[in-house]
Every structure is written in C-alpha cells, then in structure tokens.
Amino acid sequence: MEVENEASCSPSSASGGSREYKVVMLGAGGVGKSAMTMQFISHQFPDYHDPTIEDAYKTQVRIDNEPAYLDILDTAGQAEFTAMREQYMRGGEGFIICYSITDRQSFQEAAKFKELIFQVRHTYEIPLVLVGNKIDLEQFRQVSTEEGLSLAQEYNCAFFETSAALRFCIDDAYHGLVREIRKKESTPSLMEKKLKRKDSLWKKLKGSLKKKRENMT
C-alpha cells in the first residue's frame, strides 16, 4: 500500500533522489502499531485491523526540510507469527518499538526487543525509538511515563507517548526515528555498503511478504 500524506514532498523531489528509510514496527499484538502507521501515512484511524496480518506501507514526507521516503514494515505481534522476525531485524535500518500504556505485559515485551535485535545484528548501535501508545486511555494506564523514560534511557533512544486514536505525537515518533538514522550516517562509504546489503535483504523480505498475502487470499 502506498500513500502520500499531506506533508509529502513533490514528485520532483522524490525523483530527485529522496533517501529511502527502511522502518520496522515492533511490539506485541494489539498495541496499535498498524493504527499508528495508518495515521502517519493517511491521517486515518482504522475501524478494524487483523493483528495477525503483516503489511508494508510507503510514504514521502519532509523532515527538517529534507525529503524522506519511508518504507514501513508493520509486523504481526502474536508469538505464532514471528517466523520472519529475524529477517525484519536484518533488513531494517531503524525500529519503532511499541507498547501500550494500558498493558504492562506489552511493556515487558518491548523491554526485550533491543536484545533480540542485538542477537541478529551483533551491535547495539541501531537507530531506535520507543513509543508508549494509547495515552487517550489514561484512566486505564498500567505503565507510568517514568517507566517508559527509564527504558528509553537504557536503550539510549528517543521516547514518545502517543495516541493513534487522537493522532497525538505520531509524526514525532517517525520523524524522530529518521533523525536517529541520519545521525548514524557519519561515515558515508561504510553506510553505502551497509545500505546495499540491507536493500537486497529488504527486497527479499518484501517478496516473501507479498507471497504470504497472496496465499491468504
């Protein structure tokens, strides 16, 4: 699915060499990963989404007055749908790790993802953003803001509390991740080699995802 949101750059900017950022959404099922993605790319809150479906989305935006092309993989959160997790972690350039502030177990699962990424990538120097979603349900909060901040400090990453339902701080989370990826690009020659390898992995992953969707129809 490819959508250009209201902040998208012009076609000439995109064709003029917009940088593509491979983003992976991680988190337990039901925390709002898909709702966040849909709000970011199309300013719409889905009435229903099957949490077992993995999908890919593309959009163009301007971040800090620079065009950016985001290729976003929205992963399934259920344990029985994690067979492709290693491929996601190998191919992604940056990760948005999500939990719901109304679900402590989802927070505990979020706390494990950086180590899982390390097991695949063998480095902790991976761009991350931590997101506590569903702050519109404050009355059901089980995870404090302080706990989220503490985990983000442990991860050495940016932290946002968001509401996909209200579209609160959604852009901030995605833009924040792109900024983190850009920070890592201080050695262009090395990054170019890494990006070529990741591009090949990403294409294989997207192909597998397409076949999976076709088999489900």
Per-domain residue ranges of the chain: 11-216
What token pair was written down for 138?
């404050």
Please name the amino acid found at residue 114: K
pLDDT of 154 reads 94
Classify burial at 201, counting beta carbons within 10 Å of its beta carbon; exposed 0-12, middle 13-18, buried 19 or more. Answer: middle
pLDDT in tens, 188-197: 544 555 555 5
Distance CA 46, CA 38 (A): 7
pLDDT of 2 reads 36
pTM to 2 decimal places = 0.78
Q: Which residues on neighbouring strands pair with residue 135, listed in sequence order?
A: none
SS3 167: coil
Query: Which is higher by pLDDT, 18 or 43?
Result: 43
Are 7 and 67 a contacting pair, CB within 8 Å? Answer: no
Distance CA 159, CA 70 (A): 20
What token pair was written down for 152?
């983000």
pLDDT in tens, 144-184: 999 999 999 999 999 999 999 999 999 999 999 999 999 98
Residue 37 to residues 4, 133, 136, 163, Cα–Cα distance (Å): 12, 12, 17, 12
Does the pLDDT value for residue 56 go beyond 60?
yes
pLDDT of 85 reads 73
Q: What is the mean pLDDT of residues 16-34?
A: 87
Sign of the alpha-carbon dihedral angle for 200, 99, 127, 178: positive
Residue 56 to residues 59, 61, 92, 99, 145, Cα–Cα distance (Å): 10, 17, 12, 20, 30
Does the pLDDT value for residue 52 go beyond 60?
no
Taking Cα atoms as reference points, which of 128, 136, 147 lies closest to residue 169? 136
Does the pLDDT value for residue 99 go beyond 50?
yes
pLDDT of 65 reads 92
pLDDT in tens, 73-83: 988 765 544 55
pLDDT of 140 reads 98
pLDDT of 214 reads 63
Q: What is the mean pLDDT of the chain?
A: 81
Q: What is the CA radius of gyration of the chain?
A: 16
Q: What is the mean pLDDT of residues 18-44?
A: 92
The fold of the 11-216 domain, in CATH, is Rossmann fold (3.40.50)
